[in-house]
Chains A and B, each alone.
Chain A
Amino acid sequence: MSQKEAWGSRIGLVLAMAGNAVGLGNFLRFPAQAAKNGGGAFLIPYLVALVVLGLPLIWVEWGMGRFGGQQGHHSSPGIFQTHSRNGFWKYFGVMGLWSCVVVAAFYLYIESWCLAYAVYSVIGGFKGKTPDDVGAFFGQLTGESDFQLFAVSGWGMLIFAICIAMNVYILSRGLAKGIELVSKIGMPLLIIFAAILAVRGMMISPESDPAAKQSALDGLNFIWEPRLTSLKDPAVWLAAAGQIFFTLSIGMGTIHCYASYLRDKDDVALTGATAAWTNEFCEVILGGSILIPIAVAYLGLPEVVNKTAGGSGFSLGFFVFPTLFNNWGAFAPIAGLLWFGLLFFAAITSSLAMGQPVMAFMQQEYGQSRGRSAVTFGAMLLPLALPVALFHSSVFFDEFDYWAGTVMLVVFALGEAILFGWSFGMDRGWAEMTKGAELAIPKVFRFIIKFVTPVFLIAILLASGGDMIAKLLHKDVADTKQKKLADFDQQVADLKLSAEDRETKLKKLDADLESLASDTSKAGFEREAARLKQQDYRAKVASAGELVDSKRDAEISKLQTSRVAAEKFYDALPMWRNIDRLLMVGVYVFFCVLVKRAWSKRQAEGSV
Chain B
Amino acid sequence: MSTSATAFMAIVWFVVIFFTGYCFRKLLTSDRRLDGE
Q: Which residues of A contact B (CB under 8 A)?
A: 6-11, 13-14, 39-40, 43, 47, 176, 217-218, 220-221, 224-226, 262-263, 266-267, 270-271, 273-274, 277-278, 280-281, 284-285, 438-439
Contacts and interface: CB of A to CB of B under 8 A. Distances in A.
A529 B7 CA distance: 26
B20 A278 contact: yes
Given A7-B35, A225-B8, A278-B24, 14 more contacts: A6-B36, A8-B37, A9-B34, A9-B36, A10-B34, A11-B28, A47-B12, A47-B15, A224-B1, A226-B4, A263-B35, A274-B26, A280-B20, A439-B23
Contact of A9 (B1, B15, B16, B37): B37
A13 B30 CA distance: 15
Count chain B CB atoms within 10 A of each CB in A9, A10, A14 and give the residue with the most: A10
Interface residues of B, number: 26
Given A270-B23, A271-B27, A285 B16 contact: yes
Nearest to A275: B23
A224 B9 contact: yes
A277 B19 contact: yes
Given A40-B5, A280-B16, A6 B34 contact: yes
B8 A43 contact: yes
A130 B28 CA distance: 47
20 contacts: A6-B34, A6-B35, A7-B35, A8-B37, A9-B36, A9-B37, A10-B27, A10-B32, A10-B34, A47-B15, A262-B34, A263-B34, A271-B27, A274-B20, A277-B16, A280-B16, A281-B17, A438-B27, A438-B30, A439-B26
Given A11-B28, A47-B15, A281 B20 contact: yes
B16 to A, nearest CB: 5
B26 A270 contact: yes
B23 A274 contact: yes
Nearest to A217: B1
Closest 4 CB pairs of A and B: A40-B8, A274-B23, A6-B36, A224-B5
A258 B2 CA distance: 43
Contacts of B2: 221, 225
Given A224-B5, A225-B2, A439-B23, A7 B36 contact: yes
Given A280-B16, A280-B20, A224 B36 contact: no
Contacts of A226: 4-5, 8
Contacts of A274: 20, 23-24, 26-27
A285 B8 contact: no
A438 B32 contact: yes
A267 B23 CA distance: 13
Contacts of B27: 10-11, 14, 270-271, 274, 438
